């Protein structure tokens, strides 16, 4: 599948009275009924806290202890945070809207909304779930040239099977066997789009991991379960998929190692289609391959592309020649059907009564028609007052960061000018695109998409073809930033190619932002989120992307060495953190932790320099500055199920466990230590403090 892809670049509680900053704090839970908004907010913040804890020892428990007590982790959940609770509330609202027969939007009957609700009906329709969807998948497998893992399609004959055709059909929809394709802004010429090709299609890129029997068993058990949907027998599936596992292992040996791909400069390898053909060899006609993506010729021999991993593609020829055709076919088909599985029933052939949940249908439809789904949620929302406030926060935080860059005497003038230019030109999008409030424009966005009363998978195929056709149609146009996440998500992100921060509409509500919040709390909450996203452009490998989205090593040697040294401080800090006996991975989360620390620092500076009001919230006994740090900490309140998240948040995610985000930022903040008058030997006031920016 072709897609727009961004280089983007998220307890024990004790109860006793203690003293903070010379004040005796009240009991943990407030009981008085509130009659005013100010009272309600003060009570809400106070109830989230455990004020029996010394913030200089554990700011996370001090700020979140009450929330953790009052919000136990549901049995089947991996994680629960305030943003998760808000997301759940948004989901419930959307499901109710899905179940309504009303297809009007902004007073007009909307074809886009009608299509969304038709998809929901089809998703929940039991008959189409069970049989028709499988018929569609079987037909697609046949068009791929079939396979031998299941016997539902009869005998397989390798003579007429074509590797070329199998890859063309698979990749023209959503397949990622051997490589993935994306279209995005050219990182060497920002005035155009360009095609990116990247190694892909295996379960693990580290060859040493394939000696782990657990990895193999996990893979085989998963394939047996998935193939059962198409009537696959366990013994046959395991036998055939063991050969596919071996192919994964062989591919991992030619994968470019992760450490060689960290610097985006190493991934910019521009060549023409003709040169890429020479790199691959004669086993595939690459021009014909791309022509299969559209009715007309997509690329010419002289069109340029960026091949991120040329050494991988050069060695791929040997793999293709040595691997049995049957194994290649089974590998390509399995990669293809994995993406289709959510659009099929779980157990269609054994009388199962397991149907898709409302939440599952919502998630799937959001991935298919996200803008229209978000429009449903946003129709009656009014952000006209809060949006200017968020813009002011962004402007103030950016100004503080620009000033700091200008004051860095140790940075050479050329480097400083590049950094300042990037910071000054960073922009923000808040909420949603303007066109989404216009029913005619929303309908136009999806006018070429036909949703049919057949089955869910059939429509998934149509959505993918629609999306690919739109990308190819716009390929020769001028690059524009896309909304790469659903607008109703409680999320924010930074787009490095357009040097732009986006705050999604889902975040523009309590508990993250409100006009009734004191400035200190507002800067601590949404302000630090804004600062975090702004500083993403200056964190980790994104430092190699300039204000125009161009990739390069722009820096003087001494700046690069200093940046690496300062960054290593954060890496070492997170490497030292233990979560249930497991060390966190500082290098993996470096981009996030740099953005956390610097984002909070400049949000606090912006708050201190802003025209602001002092808070008078009851129940808190906190100064404004202390309330700022409580706000940031409360954004990260959260429960985790260790066993369920061990392989996600500890081993593989760039987003660290939330409590350590609080420990890190507070440990490295002189402002925090001064605000809470922390002693020199306090846990969160160490002698060594990390500071990248």
- What's the pLDDT score for residue 512? 95
| Average pLDDT along the chain | 89
Report the residue count for the chain: 693
The 10s digit of each residue's pLDDT in 255-299 is: 999 889 989 999 999 999 999 999 999 999 999 999 888 766 778
414 and 308 in a single domain? The answer is: no
242 and 336 in a single domain? The answer is: yes
Residue 277 or residue 32, greater confidence: 277
- We report the CATH number of the domain holding residue 212 as 1.10.1380.10
- What's the pLDDT score for residue 647? 76
418 and 335 in a single domain? The answer is: no
> Which whole number is the average pLDDT over 561-571?
93
In this predicted structure, which of 58-67, 494-503, 604-613 has the lowest mean pLDDT? 604-613
Is 449 contained in some domain? no
In this predicted structure, which of 332-346, 510-524, 615-629 has the lowest mean pLDDT? 332-346
d(CA 364, CA 361): 5
Is 474 contained in some domain? no
In this predicted structure, which of 92-101, 133-142, 390-399 has the lowest mean pLDDT? 133-142
d(CA 164, CA 548): 38
Is 161 contained in some domain? yes
Q: How confident is the model at residue 168 (pLDDT cuts 50, 70, 90)?
A: very high
Structural contact between residues 551 and 188, judged by C-beta atoms closer than 8 angstroms: yes
- What's the pLDDT score for residue 132? 64
- Number of domains the chain is built from: 2
- What's the pLDDT score for residue 133? 66
Which string of DSSP letters, residue by residue, matches 61-113?
A: HHHHHHHHHHSPPPTT-SEE-HHHHHHHHHHHHHHHHHHS---EETTEE-HHH
- We report the CATH number of the domain holding residue 619 as 3.40.390.10
- What's the pLDDT score for residue 13? 28
The 10s digit of each residue's pLDDT in 224-250 is: 988 888 888 999 999 999 999 999 999
Domain final position from 339, 354, 369: 354
pTM more than 0.85: yes
Checking if the pLDDT of 416 tops 60, the result is yes
317 and 395 in a single domain? The answer is: no
217 and 258 in a single domain? The answer is: yes
Neighbours of 409 (CB within 10 A): 6
Domain carrying residue 399: 385-431+481-676
Q: How confident is the model at residue 410 (pLDDT cuts 50, 70, 90)?
A: confident
Residue 307 or residue 541, greater confidence: 307
416 and 268 in a single domain? The answer is: no
The 10s digit of each residue's pLDDT in 483-511 is: 989 999 999 999 999 999 999 999 999 99
Please name the residues in contact with 403: beta carbons below 8 A apart, sequence gap of 6 or more: none
Nearest to 134 by CA among 349, 366, 450, 331: 349
Q: pLDDT exceeding 70 applies to what percent of the chain?
A: 91
Residue 346 or residue 544, greater confidence: 544
Please name the residues in contact with 544: beta carbons below 8 A apart, sequence gap of 6 or more: 263, 264, 265, 551, 552, 553, 554
Burial, 78: exposed, middle or buried (Cβ in 10 Å; 0-12, 13-18, 19+)?
Answer: middle
348 and 401 in a single domain? The answer is: no
> Which whole number is the average pLDDT over 458-487?
92
390 and 277 in a single domain? The answer is: no
DSSP letter assigned to residue 209: G
506 and 648 in a single domain? The answer is: yes
Structural contact between residues 523 and 603, judged by C-beta atoms closer than 8 angstroms: yes
d(CA 87, CA 84): 5
312 and 396 in a single domain? The answer is: no
> Which whole number is the average pLDDT over 23-43?
68
d(CA 140, CA 124): 23
The 10s digit of each residue's pLDDT in 569-580 is: 999 999 999 898
Is 468 contained in some domain? no
Checking if the pLDDT of 444 tops 80, the result is yes
548 and 661 in a single domain? The answer is: yes
Residue 35 or residue 682, greater confidence: 682
Q: How confident is the model at residue 153 (pLDDT cuts 50, 70, 90)?
A: low
The 10s digit of each residue's pLDDT in 90-114 is: 999 999 999 999 999 999 999 999 9
298 and 206 in a single domain? The answer is: yes
Is 62 contained in some domain? no
Checking if the pLDDT of 27 tops 90, the result is no
> Which whole number is the average pLDDT over 404-417?
88
Is 500 contained in some domain? yes
Is 300 contained in some domain? yes
- What's the pLDDT score for residue 11? 27
Is 68 contained in some domain? no
d(CA 70, CA 53): 17
């Amino acid at each position: 599948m072709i897609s727009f892809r961004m280089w983007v670049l998220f307890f024990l509680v004790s109860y006793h009275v203690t003293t903070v900053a010379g004040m005796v704090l009240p009991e943990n839970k407030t009981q008085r009924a509130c009659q005013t908004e100010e009272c309600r907010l003060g009570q809400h913040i106070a109830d989230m806290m455990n004020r029996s804890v010394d913030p200089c020892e554990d700011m996370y428990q001090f700020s979140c202890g009450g929330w953790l007590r009052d919000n136990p982790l549901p049995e089947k959940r991996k994680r629960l945070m305030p943003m998760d609770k808000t997301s759940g509330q948004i989901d419930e609202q959307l499901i109710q809207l899905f179940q309504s027969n009303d297809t009007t939007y902004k007073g007009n009957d909307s074809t886009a909304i009608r299509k969304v609700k038709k998809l929901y009906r089809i998703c929940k329709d039991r008959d189409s779930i069970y049989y028709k969807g499988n018929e569609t998948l079987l037909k697609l497998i046949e068009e791929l040239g079939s396979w031998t893992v299941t016997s539902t399609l009869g005998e397989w004959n390798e003579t007429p099977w074509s590797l070329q055709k199998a890859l063309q059909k698979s990749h023209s929809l959503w397949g990622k066997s051997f490589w993935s394709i994306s279209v995005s802004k050219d990182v060497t010429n920002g005035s155009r789009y360009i095609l990116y090709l990247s190694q892909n299609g295996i379960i693990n890129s580290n060859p040493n991991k394939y000696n782990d029997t657990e990895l193999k068993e996990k893979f085989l058990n998963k394939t047996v379960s998935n193939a059962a949907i198409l009537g696959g027998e366990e013994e046959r599936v395991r036998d055939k998929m063991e050969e596919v596992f071996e192919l994964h292992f062989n591919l991992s040996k030619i994968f470019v190692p992760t450490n060689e791909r960290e610097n985006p400069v190493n991934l910019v390898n521009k060549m023409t289609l003709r040169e890429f053909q020479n790199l691959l060899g004669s086993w595939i006609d690459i021009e014909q391959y791309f022509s299969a993506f559209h009715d007309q010729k997509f690329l010419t021999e002289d069109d340029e592309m960026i091949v991120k991993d040329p050494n991988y593609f050069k060695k791929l020829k040997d793999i293709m020649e040595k691997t049995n055709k049957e194994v290649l076919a089974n590998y390509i088909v399995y990669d293809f059907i994995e993406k289709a599985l959510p659009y099929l029933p779980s157990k269609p052939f054994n009388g199962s009564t397991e149907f898709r949940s409302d939440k599952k249908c919502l998630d799937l439809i959001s991935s298919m028609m996200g803008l229209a789904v978000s429009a449903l949620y946003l129709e009656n929302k009014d952000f006209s007052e809060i949006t200017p406030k968020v813009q002011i926060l962004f402007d103030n935080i950016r100004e503080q960061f620009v000033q700091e860059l200008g004051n860095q005497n140790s940075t050479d003038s050329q480097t400083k000018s590049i950094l300042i230019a990037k910071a000054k030109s960073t922009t923000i999008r808040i909420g949603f695109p303007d066109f989404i409030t216009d029913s005619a424009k929303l309908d136009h966005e999806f006018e070429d998409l036909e949703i049919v009363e057949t089955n869910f998978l059939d429509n998934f195929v149509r959505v993918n073809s629609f999306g690919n056709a739109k990308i190819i149609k716009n390929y020769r146009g001028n690059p524009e930033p896309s909304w790469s996440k659903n607008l109703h998500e409680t999320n924010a992100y930074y787009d490095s190619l357009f040097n732009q921060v986006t705050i999604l509409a889902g975040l523009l509500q309590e508990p993250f932002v409100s006009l009734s919040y004191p400035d200190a709390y507002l800067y601590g909450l949404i302000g630090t989120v804004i600062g975090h996203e702004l500083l993403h452009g200056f964190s980790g490998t994104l430092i190699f992307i300039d204000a125009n989205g161009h990739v390069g090593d722009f820096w003087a040697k001494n700046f690069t060495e200093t940046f690496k040294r300062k960054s290593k401080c954060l890496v070492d800090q997170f490497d030292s953190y233990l979560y249930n006996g497991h060390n966190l991975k500082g290098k993996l989360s470096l981009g996030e932790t740099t953005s956390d620390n610097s984002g909070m620092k400049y949000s606090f500076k912006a708050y201190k320099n802003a025209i602001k009001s002092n808070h008078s919230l009851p129940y808190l006994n906190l100064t404004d500055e202390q309330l700022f740090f409580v706000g940031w900490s409360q954004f990260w309140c959260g429960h985790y199920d260790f066993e369920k998240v061990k392989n996600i948040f500890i081993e593989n995610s760039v987003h660290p466990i939330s409590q350590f985000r609080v420990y890190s930022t507070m440990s490295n903040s002189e402002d925090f230590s001064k605000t809470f008058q922390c002693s020199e030997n306090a846990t969160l006031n160490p002698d060594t403090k990390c500071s990248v920016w």
